Amino acid sequence: MPNNLEAEQALLGCMLMDNEILPELSDMLTESDFYHDSHKYIISAIKNTFGERKAVDIVTLSDKLESEGNLQKAGGISYLTELVQVTPSAANYKFYLDIVKRDSINRGLIRAARDVAEFSRSSDDYVKSIQYAEEKIYAVSQTNDTSQIKDIRDGEGLNAVFDVFQKIAQDKDALRGVPTGFIRLDKLMNGLQKSDLIVLAARPGMGKTSLAMNIVEHAAVKERKVCAVFSLEMPNEQIVRRLLCSTAEVSMSDALSGKLTDNDWKKLAKAHEKLLQCRIFVDDSSRVTPAEILSKCRRIKSKNDGQLDLVMIDYIQLMSSGKKADDGNRVQEVASITRDLKIMAKELDVPVIALSQLRRIQSGEPQLSDLRESGAIEQDADIVMFISRPDVTASAEDIAAGKVQKGQAFLNIAKHRNGGLERIPLRFKGELTKFVNPEMNETMEARAEYGRSPSRGDDVPPPPVSDADAPPPDDEEPPF
């Protein structure tokens, strides 16, 4: 039967040498993938040890095999040591995996063909023979296929959806996602939902990094969520600096120029203590691919008992697909990146916020067509949000006359796959590099102005304003 002893030994050796590949391999390998009986015992013990959230090495593995009564059947401690010694490099585990899986599938096909031949010799009904052959081949193909076609009448179909609607009717927070801290946004989306790819786009200098980090800050500090930040533009030190000053609500320019007051130092000390209790992981690699981000996120989940609640990437146009683009076509490469990011969000089952640049040549409010380099960003994203700040482009005369308020900002929801669109008023505090909920009177004025917007039509009434639009007191959490 097809098998490769060296590939099986090397693959097991890789798993003993590098525990970071275990989350990926443990889901892909079974005992039947290995031809040699000793290797079947070893892979079973590795998966059991990893499932107990223990480090996998020669000592823990031999202990698990001995407790199961299989240490001698697996070749003893000397053979486990040999596996590590004969492995050239743990970096080549994917090549060894391909060889092992190839031989495993081929053995399955040979066994299936043998069973079909024996059944067909004694069968008197060719229809049954064909059905039997299809079942056998399908069983083999299913072992190498992670996708499934599901009947909606099954447990995860209609009944499950109906049960979800009942839960929401009884508790409106039943499907609450990761809260952003922005009242109108959380009400519209019920928090950031799992497996969603959320694209936050703006022209340079509009504060897209600040807004994304404000969301990460709220999720990690207020909600105790596990967050991962991948910054391709800013180094780790600058990210942490922003995070600390924003949490403390202290001017970063004052901190950098040594002008902090005693009160500012007290705020920073409290923020420092808060952030020490948070789980925010920052990666500032300048050229990273979706595949690398996925691998790093798997490690974060593995180290945090399977928990990862939010991923933020800054920003799409600085990423590399890791694949050679056809004819150097950057548009196709960005399309590949956004497609991989959506697949990653679905596989990790977490919301992914990906920042994006806009074309510099544009007039008026940002549109979906302004997304830079690829229409695939609009296509693959579940949600597309634009930041607009009228005071940035307004003249000094307009600001002085009160036509445009200083710090006024809007978050325009231009695409929402599972809900409606809205123009959400915010306020930007430049000295804190922080977006906050606007005051009640600002909300009413902004929403009234939105209702008269020519793009919506003069006859469109402004959306209703309720008490929920008002920001909560400082000592209360934002409601939904």
Percent of the chain with pLDDT over 90: 26
Facing residues of 416 across strands? 383
Mean pLDDT (whole number) for 172-185: 83
Q: How confident is the model at residue 467 (pLDDT cuts 50, 70, 90)?
A: very low
pLDDT in tens, 157-173: 677 777 777 877 777 66
Is 191 in the same domain as 308? Answer: yes
For residue 222, what are the CA distances in angstroms to 92, 131, 264, 380?
A: 42, 57, 21, 30
Which of these three, 112, 142, 172, is where a domain ends?
A: 142
Write out the two tokens for 301: 């989940």
For 30, residues 6+ apart whose C-beta sits below 8 A from its C-beta are 43, 143
Q: What CATH code is carried by the domain that includes residue 432?
A: 3.40.50.300
The pLDDT assigned to 156 comes to 62
Q: Is the pLDDT of residue 258 over 70?
A: yes
For 304, residues 6+ apart whose C-beta sits below 8 A from its C-beta are 226, 279
Is 81 in the same domain as 228? Answer: no
Q: Contact at 8 Å (CB) between 427 and 210?
A: no
Number of domains present in the structure of the chain: 2
Report if residue 81 sits inside a domain. yes
Report if residue 133 sits inside a domain. yes
Is 70 in the same domain as 188? Answer: no
Nearest to 119 by CA among 107, 132, 106, 110: 132
Report if residue 160 sits inside a domain. no
Is 93 in the same domain as 225? Answer: no
3-state secondary structure 187-232: HHHCCECCCCEEEEEECCCCCHHHHHHHHHHHHHHHCCCEEEEEEC
Report if residue 163 sits inside a domain. no
Is 231 in the same domain as 327? Answer: yes
More confident residue, 43 or 390: 43
pLDDT in tens, 273-316: 989 988 999 988 877 888 788 878 888 888 888 889 999 998 88
Is 272 in the same domain as 416? Answer: yes
Is 216 in the same domain as 329? Answer: yes
Mean pLDDT (whole number) for 167-183: 80
Report if residue 220 sits inside a domain. yes
pLDDT in tens, 45-96: 999 998 888 889 999 999 999 999 999 999 999 999 999 999 988 888 989 9
The pLDDT assigned to 105 comes to 92
The pLDDT assigned to 362 comes to 53
Domain containing 409: what range?
183-469
Mean pLDDT (whole number) for 195-216: 89
Q: Is the pLDDT of residue 230 over 90?
A: yes
Q: What CATH code is carried by the domain that includes residue 110?
A: 1.10.860.10
Average pLDDT of the chain?
A: 81
Rounded CA Rg of the chain = 28
The pLDDT assigned to 431 comes to 80
Looking from the CA of 358 toward its CB, the CA atoms found within 13 Å total 26
Cα–Cα–Cα angle for 202, 452, 190, rounded to 5 degrees: 55
Using DSSP's 3-state secondary structure scheme, residue 384 falls into strand
Is 244 in the same domain as 331? Answer: yes
Q: How confident is the model at residue 4 (pLDDT cuts 50, 70, 90)?
A: very high
- How far is Cα 221 from Cα 274, in angstroms, rounded to an integer? 7
Is 131 in the same domain as 211? Answer: no
Is 396 in the same domain as 249? Answer: yes
Helical segments of 218-305, H only: 236-248, 252-256, 262-276, 290-303
Nearest to 386 by CA among 418, 409, 420: 409
Using DSSP's 3-state secondary structure scheme, residue 355 falls into strand
Report if residue 480 sits inside a domain. no
Which of these three, 142, 167, 193, is where a domain ends?
A: 142
Is 136 in the same domain as 199? Answer: no
pLDDT in tens, 397-423: 777 777 777 888 889 998 898 888 888
**Phi, psi of 434, deg, nearest 5:** -140, 135
Which of these three, 142, 169, 203, is where a domain ends?
A: 142
The pLDDT assigned to 301 comes to 87
Q: How confident is the model at residue 451 (pLDDT cuts 50, 70, 90)?
A: very low
Is 240 in the same domain as 110? Answer: no
Which of 110-114, 253-257, 321-325, 415-419 comes out lowest in average pLDDT? Answer: 321-325
Report if residue 137 sits inside a domain. yes
- How far is Cα 236 from Cα 225, in angstroms, rounded to an integer? 20
Q: Kind of pairing, strands 422-429 and 408-416?
A: antiparallel
Which pTM value belongs to this model? Answer: 0.62
Instruction: Please report the sign of the dihedral spanned by the C-alpha atoms of residue 135, residue 140, residue 141, residue 143.
Output: positive
Report if residue 176 sits inside a domain. no
